[in-house]
Structures are given as C-alpha cells and as structure tokens.
Copies of this chain bind each other. A is one copy, B any other.
Amino acid sequence: MGGMEIQIAVAKTNKYAVTDSGDTIEVVERPNGGLSVVLADGQTSGRGAKAVSMMVVRKVIGLLAEGVRDGAAARAASDLLYTEKQGKVTSTLNILSVDLHTGTVVITRNNPIPFYVARGERIDCIGEESKSIGTARNTRPVISEIPLEPGMMLVVYTDGLVHAGERKGNPMDVCTSLKAMREGQDPSPQAVADALLSEAVNLDDGRPADDISVVALKVLKHTGDDVRRMTVRLPVNVR
C-alpha cells in the first residue's frame, strides 16, 4: 500500500470547576510497531473517577507493551476493575490501534456510545451494542477493524461530548457537525477534535457539564520526511 502518514489528535477538557478529569488518555508505541491510543472514562468525576480511569489505562498499556492483544487487554482491565471495586464501579474503554502488519486500525470498544468513520462523502456511525467494563464478569469488547487508506478519518470520544447541551434541551449531534466540517474541506484531525470540543463547550455555555475527550485519527498520503513527531500542549495553573 506504500507510504502513508497517520495523524492522531486529542483535545481534552475537564468538567467545569473540577480539577481532576475522570478521563484518561495515553498514546503508546506498540512493541511490533504502530501506536495505540487508550481512552477510559471512569464513573462520576473528580479524583475517584481519575483513579479508576488511570488504573484501567495503565493496565491496558502495560499488557499491550507485553504483546497482549487488544481484546484480551480490555477483558483483563474489566476483570481488574471488577475485582478491585467489587463490581460497583464502571468505566468506558476505547483502544485504537494502528497495526502495521494488518494495515488496519483496530478499534476495541467497551462503551455504549458509538464512534465515527469518515471516508470521502460518507460518514458511518459504528454503534453496535457495547458495555462498559467493571460491573460484570466476562465483559467482552466489540472489535472493529478498518483498513488504513488515505482520506480515512476516525473520531472517538467520551460521553461528555454527546451529553453537552442536554441540560438546555439542545444536545450535540456529532454526525451533523462532522458532515458540516468536511463539506468541501479536508480539515486536519486537530481542527476536527478542536471544533467538536469547542462546539460542546459552547452548548454548555462555556461550563462543561462533564469531562470531554475527543480523538481524531486521519490517514494521509505520505509526502514529507520519515520523522515521527509529537506535540503536547498543557495549560497549567501553578499554585
């Protein structure tokens, strides 16, 4: 299939007036090449939720680093959470893996909310029933596999995005927003993640009712050099 460039962008904000986000997201290298993005949203918000989502993400990336397959890592994280919290605490989990051997993105999902795949004019909502982890034994993820091809874009997010605006009876419609953004344009994944997050924050009058994380993954034709790049921007308040 030749040279491509994978671009992954993340935009993340906290629930209004809450310091700790209940969402945790990490991007890690896979032992056989490629990358995985691991995103968890722990139940409720604040410190407790943060500890849950960090535990889930750490378990998953530790196992991925050992070569464990994504589906098995998701099941292990569910069992760990179930055992640690006696089945009383739940978390969503999404794993996006760029697998260079199969030439696909593998999406492992324990999350009732769907994700989107855009190719050309078409936007598909992938929403087969899927349960969060931690509250039942034998919780299995739903796994989708999507070929890496230039022009393809994936959008995955935590439920804070789709709950935005609900208080005011004006909920966010991700598919419509994505369609509008892509009309006649070819936005970067950072532009897509930023625009979706910003729309959600506006629907909540600038005071997000929940933690929100948005991930956009885009495949492009490879035109530049062979350098891997990563940029992180972290607004901070130093006490």
Residues of A within 8 A of B (CB): 1-14, 19-20, 24-29, 31, 33-35, 51, 54, 58, 61-62, 65, 98, 100-101, 103, 148, 189-190, 193-194, 197-198, 201, 222, 224-239
Contact = CB atoms under 8 A, between A and B. Distances in A.
B29 A233 contact: no
A230 B227 contact: no
A58 B234 CA distance: 23
A13 B226 contact: yes
B26 A233 contact: no
> In the complex this chain forms, how many copies of it are found?
2
Contact of A236 (B6, B198, B201): B6
Contact of A28 (B12, B26, B65): B26
Among A10, A35, A103, A234, residue most surrounded by chain B Cβ atoms (within 10 Å): A234
Contacts of A197: 227
Contacts of A193: 229
B235 A227 contact: yes
A222 to B, nearest CB: 5
B5 A231 contact: no
A222 B234 CA distance: 10
Contacts of A4: 235-238
B233 A229 contact: yes
A216 B12 CA distance: 22
B62 A58 contact: yes
